[in-house]
Amino acid sequence: MPIRTTVTDAARRAQSNASRATLREADDDHLWQEMKALDVTHSETHTGVERAQQYGFTCVPAKQDQEEQQQQQQDQSQGASTGSLGGGGGGTSSSDEADVNDQQPQGDAAEAIIMYLNGSRSHPVVVSVDDRRHRLKGLEEGDVAHYRLKDDRQQIHLHKDGTYISARDDKTIRMAMVPKQQQGQQQQQQQGQQQGNGQQQKKEYGQKSARDDNVQSSMSVELNGQAATMIHGQGHVQATPKHAHIRTGGNRIFTDTDGHWSVEPIMLKKDKHDV
């Protein structure tokens, strides 16, 4: 069946195909991340908007600054009534100025570019998010970087001179080997849906952070403000500002500012790897 349209309708859809918005807060508990609330025009707020991200990369934008937001809400509450945010989930919006405008915060926030599929304001999708408050700037041509909030100073910077992984001295940098998935979990993900007791098992999507397995791993390299440590099973090498030691099981060799030490006499032995 042909879709009837007019030049005016086509022009309106083209003009309203994209918008800029400020982000109040993101919700990462979905297969596609959702923006809880996006303020677009002075009388337009979208809620529950899906965000498309590049495969292999994901991030959760910071919330809108709270101090300015709370101050404005307090100012507006004097002599003005407030109502609930217009619209529901799935990218809905509201144009009730008496309701929405009084609740649109003005604090610094991450900014988003929204595309409206088929020019319909009822179907927004976020295609890009950036944040002037935290963006790593002043890089050189060809540089690539990952970063977190500016106060964290956690960065991975690919520079022409090398790769620089940085974290504040009260944070931790840790690389570790984590266990592979159990065979049953792999089969379930590969097969998708299986028959069990006459019911189809739900296909699982997405994956969880490996952070917990990383922290518990016995094969790791860790840097923090107190020490640099490398562990592989019973093998253990650690260095602090005034102490360093090598340990395998109960055997230890260590140094400190007073000298060199060992818990057992040191024996000379030819290394089998010597040529």
pLDDT attached to residue 253: 96
Q: Which residue has the tokens 């988003």?
A: 112
Sheet order of strands, 173-176 included: 173-176, 219-223, 228-232, 235-240, 243-248, 251-256, 259-262
pLDDT attached to residue 240: 96
Q: What separation in angstroms does the CA of 135 have from each of 69, 129, 154?
A: 21, 11, 12
Closest to 102 (Cα-Cα) out of 126, 124, 78: 78
Sheet order of strands, 144-147 included: 144-147, 155-159, 162-166
Share of the chain above pLDDT 70, in %: 75
Of 120 and 83, more confident: 120
pLDDT attached to residue 162: 98
pTM given for the model: 0.75
Tallying the residues shown for the chain, one arrives at 275
Of 4-13, 64-73, 197-206, 239-248, the range with the highest mean pLDDT is 239-248
Of 184 and 86, more confident: 184
Domain boundaries, the chain: 7-130
127 membership: H or E segment, kind and range? strand 124-130
The predicted-structure confidence for 118-158, as pLDDT tens digits, reads as follows 888 888 999 999 999 999 999 999 999 999 999 999 999 99
Determine the Cα–Cα distance for residues 231 and 215; give it in Å rounded to an integer: 12
Phi and psi (nearest 5°) for 215? Answer: -65, -35
DSSP state of 258: T
Closest to 62 (Cα-Cα) out of 133, 138, 113, 136: 133
pLDDT attached to residue 98: 41
Helices (H), the chain: 7-15, 66-77, 97-100, 183-191, 211-216
For residues 43-59, give the mean pLDDT.
95
Q: pLDDT band at residue 11, thresholds of 50, 70 and 90?
A: low
Do the strands 45-51 and 124-130 form a parallel or antiparallel pair, or are they unpaired? Answer: parallel
For residue 96, pLDDT over 50 is answered with no
pLDDT attached to residue 203: 85
For residues 19-43, give the mean pLDDT.
95
173 membership: H or E segment, kind and range? strand 173-176
For residues 88-112, give the mean pLDDT.
66
Of 80 and 244, more confident: 244
Q: pLDDT band at residue 78, thresholds of 50, 70 and 90?
A: low
pLDDT attached to residue 84: 34
Closest to 80 (Cα-Cα) out of 104, 58, 62: 104
Q: What separation in angstroms does the CA of 125 have from each of 39, 96, 255?
A: 13, 22, 59
